[in-house]
Structures are given as structure tokens and as C-alpha cells.
Amino acid sequence: MPQIAGKEVGPIGFGLMGFTWRANPCSQEQAFEAMRTALKRGVNLWNGGEMYGVPEYNSLVLLERYLEQYPEDADKFVLTIKGGAAKGGKMIDGSPENARRSLDDCIAQLKGRKKIDMFEYARIDPKWPMETTLGVIQKEYVETGKIGGISLSEVRAETIHKAVKIVKVVAVEVELSLFSTDILENGVAAACAQYDIPIIAYSPLGRGLLTGQIKKYTDIPEDSMLRFFPRFSPENFDINLQLVAQVEELAKKKGVTPGQLAINWTRMIARRPGMPTIIPIPGATTAARVEENSKLVELTDEEMAQIDATLAKFTPAGERYPEGIATNT
């Protein structure tokens, strides 16, 4: 079993963003059923965010309500929370004042029902030295026992090398999927391996595209944020579906769903020489999808080689994020 912040977690984690950050969130009853199913399946690394929704209903509010109903579950999962945006917005503010504000609000929203095991700034704010932002978190929150530790999010290798000289970095959350293999080549995975830092791999399903459920552009709801992502734009969509078709073919041969193949590929990458521990955190809003996503699938060397060959011939169309959103901070 992999370890995060000194605690054992399952090999596949759980992204909570989809519960609260959408135009029409699912019911709390549906969310609670999915969350309970996750724990039954050993999916106990949960990843949420202060900015995942509005202040009145974000990941922390949902978690507090869940733990009010199921207080016995508080010690059953490891919680990592992203924050650091200016209050009520999405722009990152690395000032000491906002670091305190963000952490205090996150802690307050949980109402004492659960301790945050890891807190991470969603992006590094270039306007403030990391020593300042991380220093406040370390001295005023980690060392006083208010939170468990510090992780990093959406960072480049240079940032990791610098951050480990300032604080103990317990995890690094970055994007990794069959569509987004950048960290395997840009030094991020190598840096994490060097310092024995686990990678929390977000969007292992390519924001849902690798599930095979999205067949045409009009399958994307008009109010979905996906329509703002370049890889889902009309001019890029059909090109990217070519990879999905190949993943579906490989999955069919394996007797698994395309999503299961994609999620477990991220796990299996960690077994290669020079790789750190990698824990994918697919999101899901139904118990059935949690069941599907949590299935462990072992891929043979031959199957991994087939996927390598597929990826070598394919270049994703479009950037990972819309213009103006910071990446590799």
C-alpha cells in the first residue's frame, strides 16, 4: 500500500471536484452514497478544494455535512485540500494574509469534524517568494498541528527542487493521463522520485474523454466548463477522439472499460525505473462510477508496450488549459 503523509492509502484515490464545481451539482444523497462506496472500495485518499464551488457549497462544506452524518468515517480517509485563491475568486494570492485567510476558512468550514492532512496552493503565486507563502503555512499551521503537512499543485520541476529546501513536501499533485504525459518528460516525475515524494495524478481520465462516454462535441453539456478547454474545442475534438478509439480497442482486448485502462496505466507507470509512487485520483459523482474507477487492473509489459507505441504516434490537439490559466507554476 502506498503512503501519503505517513498514512496508508489505496492505490487509487478520489477527486471530489465534480460534486460541487458544476452548474447543477448532484444531490447530497447521491454524493454521500458515492463517498461511502469509495471507502468500502479502499479509495481513501480524497482530494478537494476551497475553490471547488462557491464558498457556501464547496468540497469542505460537502465534507462537513458528510461527516456530520457519518462521523465514524473521519479517520478512514486522508484529506488533501487545495486553496490559496483570493476569497470568493479563482486568482491565486500567495500573500501571508491570504494564506492565513484561506487556511482559516478551510479549517472553519470543516467545523472540527476532520483535520486537513495536506494543504496545497492550487498554483504558485509568482508575486510572492515561496519562502514567504510556504513559511507561513509551515510555521503557523503545520508546526502548531492545525494541519498535517504541505503538498504542491501544478508545479514544474524547478519549483519542487526549490520547495524541498524550504519545507517538507509530502506530495505533488499534477496532471497525468494518456492525453497528458508531460511530467514524465519535463523533470517533474524525476524530481519527485529523487526526493521520494508521491505524485497525486489528477485528471487521469483526460477530464472524462478517456471514459469513451463522450462520442461527439454535442455530447458535452452547454453549461460544462469542458467547452472552454482547448482539447474539447470543435477544431481539436475529433483529432483527440482518435486516441480514445485506440484506448477503447486496447480496453476491449483486456476485457476492461476504457476508463479502467486509463486509470491503471497511471498506476503502472510508477513501476518503471526512476519513477515515484503515483496515485491517480479520478473523480466520480455516482456509486456505480466509483465502483468502476476503483477496480485494480494489472497491465503486462506487453500491454504497456502497446500503449507506448500508441502514444508515440499520437500528439494531442490543443493545450491542457485555456489561455490565461497558469500551468507548471
* Reported confidence tier of residue 212, pLDDT bands at 50, 70, 90: confident
* Reported confidence tier of residue 3, pLDDT bands at 50, 70, 90: confident
Ramachandran class of 203: left when φ > 0, alpha when ψ lies in -120 to 50, beta otherwise: left
Rounded to 5, what percent of the chain is helix, strand, coil?
45, 15, 45
The more confidently predicted of residues 218 and 140 is: 140
Whether residue 297 is predicted with pLDDT greater than 80 in this model: the reply is yes
**Domain range for 83:** 3-208+258-299
Beta bridge partners of 92: 85
Q: pLDDT tens digit string along 81-120?
A: 999 999 877 789 999 999 999 999 999 999 999 999 999 9
Task: Say which CATH number the domain at 176 has.
Answer: 3.20.20.100
φ and ψ of 306, to 5 deg: -65, -40
Q: Which of 52, 66, 141, 202 is catalytic?
A: 52
In a domain, 216, yes or no: no
Contacts of 274 (CB under 8 A, 6+ apart): 189, 190, 193
Contacts of 272 (CB under 8 A, 6+ apart): none
In a domain, 238, yes or no: no
Active site residue 70: no
Instruction: Give the pLDDT of residue 130.
Output: 96
Question: Which single residue is written with the C-alpha cell 516525475?
Answer: 189
Instruction: Tell me which DSSP letter residue 252 carries.
Output: H
Strand duo 278-280 + 199-202: pairing:
parallel
In a domain, 143, yes or no: yes
In a domain, 247, yes or no: no
Question: Which single residue is written with the C-alpha cell 504497456?
Answer: 304
Nearest to 147 by CA among 175, 163, 168, 172: 168
Please state which of the ranges 88-92, 151-155, 287-291 shows the lowest mean pLDDT: 88-92
Q: What is the pTM of this model?
A: 0.96
Cell numbers for 277: 509512487
Instruction: Give the pLDDT of residue 171.
Output: 98
Query: How far, CA to CA in Å, does 249 sit from each of 64, 92, 134, 212, 310?
Result: 42, 41, 45, 11, 11
Q: Which amino acid is at 113?
A: R
Instruction: Give the pLDDT of residue 219.
Output: 85
Question: What integer is the mean pLDDT of 4-28?
Answer: 93
Q: pLDDT tens digit string along 165-197?
A: 999 999 999 999 999 999 999 999 999 999 999
Query: How far, CA to CA in Å, does 233 sit from each of 46, 230, 236?
Result: 30, 5, 5
3-state secondary structure of 31: helix
Average pLDDT, the chain: 95
In a domain, 9, yes or no: yes
Whether residue 216 is predicted with pLDDT greater than 80 in this model: the reply is yes
3-state secondary structure of 150: strand
Whether residue 253 is predicted with pLDDT greater than 80 in this model: the reply is yes
In a domain, 123, yes or no: yes
Whether residue 225 is predicted with pLDDT greater than 90 in this model: the reply is no
How far is residue 150's CA from residue 130's CA, in Å, rounded to a whole number? 12
Query: Which helix (H) or strand (E) covers residue 157, if one does?
Result: helix 157-163
In a domain, 128, yes or no: yes
How far is residue 46's CA from residue 80's CA, in Å, rounded to a whole number? 6
Number of domains in the chain: 1
